[in-house]
Amino acid sequence: MVSEYANKVRGALEAAGLETPMINIGLSAEQKREEIAQHMAAVMDLLGLDRTDDSLESTPARIAKMYVNEIFAGLDYQQFPTLSLIDNKMGIDEMVTVADIDLTSTCEHHFVTIDGTAKVAYIPTDKIIGLSKINRIVRFFAQRPQVQERLTRQVLVALQTLLETDNVAVSIRATHYCVKARGIMDTNSHTTTTALGGAFRDDLRTRAEFLR
Ligand SMILES: Nc1nc2c(ncn2[C@@H]2O[C@H](COP(=O)(O)OP(=O)(O)OP(=O)(O)O)[C@@H](O)[C@H]2O)c(=O)[nH]1
Ligand SMILES: [Zn+2]
């Protein structure tokens, strides 16, 4: 079952042209794992690995399970977090910031790790969200093949939709293992992406407070 919240978020991402390019192939999670395992076995065979070795024999099934249940679980809206949203009866109108959110994602160009942290802030209007739910929404979108810019904007639009306010800001700082562990092999650089809405975009002081 896909929740009402998840459907709202999906609709908003599609309308904004920010949805991850996906095709509904109509397979169950079990069927996906089975087929992916077969393909991973073929990849290992082509690399000349001996899959009868006891350390390698379960690797295809392990990778399939990791893809479907773990690192790409966010492709399935049924996995969207259960939310607690409450009416802002307290009239809170100051910035709420969650910083140093652990973020592990996967680069969609190379299928290797993106490792970083996220910072999310919002200024409540009518709704307040349970704090841990912000971390969970970040994790949901991180559990997809991603480019950091899209990930940042998906979290922004999801929270704007759920909180019914433009006043949301998201910043992600991450190391890409496709840059660190291969290719240019730069072990030092990191990438920062920022997506600002409402007052975070238009009001210099609010913007500065978030970016500080
Ligand atoms: N904008 C953006 N680019 C990314 C992200 N993750 C990886 N990339 C880049 O995607 C690009 C893919 O470039 P290609 O030339 O097709 O791939 P490649 O030959 O493996 O490139 P090199 O990494 O330069 O060896 C690389 O420059 C990656 O650094 C991301 O989150 N955002
Ligand atoms: Zn990459």
pLDDT of amino acid 84: 86
Residue 5 one-letter amino acid = Y
Q: What pLDDT, in 10s, does the model give residues 59-91? A: 999 999 999 999 999 999 999 999 989 999 999
**Is 175:116 a contact under the CB 8 Å cutoff?**
yes
Burial class of residue 61 (count of CB atoms within 10 Å of its CB; 0-12, 13-18, 19+): middle
Q: Respond yes or no: is residue 39 known to be catalytic.
A: no
Separation between Cα atoms, residue 98 and residue 166, nearest integer Å:
17
ipTM of the complex as predicted? 0.91
CATH topology of domain 83-211: GTP Cyclohydrolase I, domain 2 (3.30.1130)
pTM: 0.96
Q: Respond yes or no: is residue 176 known to be catalytic.
A: yes
Choice among 38, 39, 70, 109 that is catalytic:
109
Low-confidence ranges of the chain (pLDDT < 70): none
pLDDT of amino acid 60: 98
**Is 152:194 a contact under the CB 8 Å cutoff?**
yes
- For the chain, what are the domain ranges? 83-211
Cα-to-centroid distance, 109 and ligand 1 (Å): 6
pLDDT of amino acid 75: 98
Cα-to-centroid distance, 210 and ligand 1 (Å): 29
Separation between Cα atoms, residue 112 and residue 105, nearest integer Å:
8
Separation between Cα atoms, residue 84 and residue 81, nearest integer Å:
10
